[in-house]
Structure 1
Amino acid sequence: MSDYAINARNVTVKYGDFSALRDLTFLAETGKIIGLLGPNGAGKSTFVDAVIGARKVAGGSIRTLGVDPIGDAAKLRPDVGIVLQSAGFPTGMKVKDILFSWRRYVPGMTKKDVLDIAERVNLKYLLDRPLSSLSGGERRRVDIAIALYGNPKLIVLDEPTTGLDPISRENVWDIIRSQRDLGATVLLTTHYLDEVEALSDSVSVIKEGHITASGTVEELAASVPSPRASSVAASSEVLDGLANLLPQNGDGSSRKDDRLEWQSHDPARDLETIYRTCADRGWQITDVRVEKPSLRAAYAALVGATDSEDNIPITKDDKR
């Protein structure tokens, strides 16, 4: 089997004269969680459709689990689990009726298999409840349970936690991690940066139907220079002396308790100046802190947005 669960090369998808995807190349390593970020209209859902064989490509090629997702659809279907933004099950049906009826589409799926999955995703206590009585998080677990039928090799999750409360989101995260740990590949599209940071082994950013950057969370965050918070702790006398060094290197500084704080595009350069000065004057620093590169800032730069725009994904620290 290929090292890539998804191998998309120079893919173009058109709606009439409009190219929803254009010359897109995307590789999803087998057994990993791959996050796909992008603003609304960037092409995320179109790409998901192409990966599962629901959308024909106008150019390039896609191999999903090593096969053509349209030409070999019958071979591919049992190995792919899908959670779309809305499953559309009748709300009057009981959970058990939905789960048991769906097993007929998966060869060899027994009632015991269904109950085992229901227990794994914490649904057994809801089996006799109608779908209409479930919370958003509980309904999402029904969708995910069905996506796990047949122990799929690839799980495609299109905005799986939109609208969920924090506890429900973390429960879904645990399920996603457990499937990765069992060997499945997970393709995750999301608008939540903290979700990407918590789950993804690698991340790709899509803009206007084209992948603009790929890498680990850390690699993407470090790929675009942005101001980072830095601080040092020392005696008042030392901090007074250091404050005079920073305006030319940092973006201004301030005192807070026993720390000197500042924003800088190049904290390494600032700290080199500080260390050299301290060594020359015999000053002591008791602590140094430098903020990690920001995925949010890198994403905004990659898609050409600003923090004030609505298409910046939400993080756990946002109040919006």
Structure 2
Amino acid sequence: MQREAYRIEKTGSIHNLQRKKELLPPTEGDEVTIEVKAIGLNFADVFSVYGLYSATPKGSFIPGLEFSGKIIKIGPNVKDFEVGDQVFGVTRFGAYTTHLNISEKTIFALPKDWSMQDGAAFAVQALTAYYALVPLAQVKEGDHVLVHSAAGGVGIMAGHIIQKKKAIAIGLVGDSRKFSILKEVGYEKFLVRSPNFKDEMKKILDGAPLKIVLECLGGRYFQDSYDLLAPMGRLVTYGSANFTPSKSFINWFSIVYSYLTRPKIDPLSMISDNKSVMGFNLIWLWNEIDDLRKHFSDLMMLSLPKQTIGHEFTFDSLHDALRSMQSGHTIGKIVINVP
């Protein structure tokens, strides 16, 4: 069957992301064919388009990590789904399309009270927040937790999880106008990124130990957050937003400067300070299907609210959606609606 997809032949610019018509091969084994109805955007999409993401495929590829839609065909070995089922799921790239073939192991039944947009908005960012806070940071009741970019998709889901765990969420954002959404999703305290970040955090903590930091910015905020950690504190890093290109092309001078001035933590000081730094790339789980499904099952047991969808774009306007994500001014999830 024929499909439309946004494919990139050469990384380095959003302009290289081209909409094309191409043939989708028949399903095989445990694959299902999904008629995609919505696509969730993630920062990894932007980094892959620019070739700045280590997991980016070599050569031609279709970006996109998550989607929702309807099953229109099933392979001979499919056991758990039928034609017509509404599902959402994750893929190691390939979601920027009208149709895709994917193993039934990486899709999930769409809850009855969820829209297609809700499904496409949930998996990647909720799993990121969950994996950082629960298996890695082991958040518990009463912990003070600082979350960077708290009004973004991961930050919002982190707020819900921290509230479920009866910990204390502190949200760091770039604009005070985002405080209202932080209140809605469970943050008790919040502040704006500024040169006075460390002093303001000390006032907020008022002597309480900072046990966990979810860090995705890099640069000085990484270092300052590490310095603020209490003994036995854990900093979990899952991104470096300060490397995000702000234009349609890469400013290599800015990239190199950010790389050379990136924070460096001395392992010996970590021992004497009793602090931990953990990093992860969620896409690793796409190769560990059993672990992926276990973590997702545990995540769903928390009965979290649906993701906050801050912005919706049409499939025709996918480039505009990526530029909006680059701006840093968005709230919650960006979703692409597919006709």
- TM-score normalised by length of structure 2: 0.27
TM-score by length of 1: 0.28
Structure whose CA Rg is larger: 1
